[in-house]
Amino acid sequence: MQRRTVLRSAAALGLVALAPPLFAAAKLKPGANAALIVVDVQNCFIDGGTLPVKGGAEVVPVINKLSLAFQNIVVTQDWHTQGHASFASAHGGKKPFDSIKLNYGNQVLWPDHCVQGTEDAALHKDLQLPTTQLIIRKGYNKGVDSYSAFQEADRKTVTGLAGYLKARGIKTVYITGLATDFCVAWTALDARAAGFEAYVVEDATRAIDLNGSLAAAWKQMAAKGVKRIQSGDVEGA
């Protein structure tokens, strides 16, 4: 009763609204057992590229700043062959963003993008990630798409990333890049399936949001224990 009276008096004086929170939320501090995964920050996904993600270039300074907090960084690159099975141009009468059934399941068809060795497939020139130790190239098998940094879309062919991270003693991954609802989400879900703690840094990602795909991706990630954070939640970033 005494506490209630004190609070009522404080509220009357306007003090409760002005009082700072008793405990500030602790920031996350990535250590030697954490890795930053930078997904597909390539020219093809930036304005002017073949499959631009709205606001894609905006992630670059956020990721650069975030990288200062990490000893371990992995970068991924979409790396398609000419005539890749995920390209609408490889299927007569189909257009970008149609869906078809391939031998491993449903496939969204995309404009030709990130073709091996082209400037379109190059990493964005302003990325500054000096502690990067590994670049994973994915989607180079002509008949299979690959969104995740861990596993191709057939859900059988692995990239070797999980084994690499485990061999390095990595327990936690922080995922950034393009696009939130495709390659970032698939990477996060596969990270959890492989036993890693996984964070997606929301302001270091941008989405395509195709037919509600962004909301669906966040829902799937939350259901599997992926944590949604902002770059400001990371100490040293």
Exactly one of 120, 183, 190, 233 is catalytic; which is it?
Answer: 183
Exactly one of 138, 181, 190, 233 is catalytic; which is it?
Answer: 138
Strands 197-206 and 172-178: parallel
Nearest to 112 by CA among 134, 133, 91: 91
Rounded to a whole number of angstroms, the distance between the first and last alpha carbons of the chain is 44
Helix (H) or strand (E) holding 135: strand 132-138
Question: Catalytic: 27?
Answer: no
- CA dist 12 and 29 (Å) reads 40
- CA dist 228 and 33 (Å) reads 19
- CA dist 144 and 85 (Å) reads 6
Question: Catalytic: 138?
Answer: yes
The answer to whether 119 and 113 are in contact (CB under 8 A) is: no
Give the number of other CB atoms < 10 A from CB of residue 155.
13
- CA dist 174 and 202 (Å) reads 10
- CA dist 83 and 112 (Å) reads 8
The answer to whether 176 and 64 are in contact (CB under 8 A) is: no
The answer to whether 121 and 51 are in contact (CB under 8 A) is: no
Tell me which residues are annotated as active site: 40, 138, 183
